[in-house]
Amino acid sequence: MNELEGWLTSEQACTRLGIAWRTLYNHHRNTPDFPTPRKVGRTLLWPAAELDAWRTRHPPRQTHADED
């Protein structure tokens, strides 16, 4: 089993959550219950299962385009 299985790069985490890169880092710094990344070298890796659980607790906001 790969030691990094279940971990996502920042780009993958953004795609999975449907958010921008800056939003990911803002959540990391300012949202108390946001998952903590693991640093490997200079790369932050995010726990996929914890991101999924966080997204379940915090669904994305609906935009006006979503309402049509």
Distance (Å, whole) CA 60 – CA 38 = 24
Own/partner contacts of 59-66, CB < 8 Å, gap of 24 or more, are 60/17, 60/18, 60/19
> Domain ranges in the chain?
7-59
Instruction: Going from the first residue of the chain to its last (68 residues), give the mean pLDDT of each consecutive group of 10, the final group possibly shorter.
Output: 83 96 96 96 96 93 66
Buried b / exposed e over 21-53, threshold 16 CB at 10 Å, is eeebeebbeeeeebbebeeeeeebbbbbeebee
What predicted TM-score, i.e. pTM, was given to this entire model?
0.82
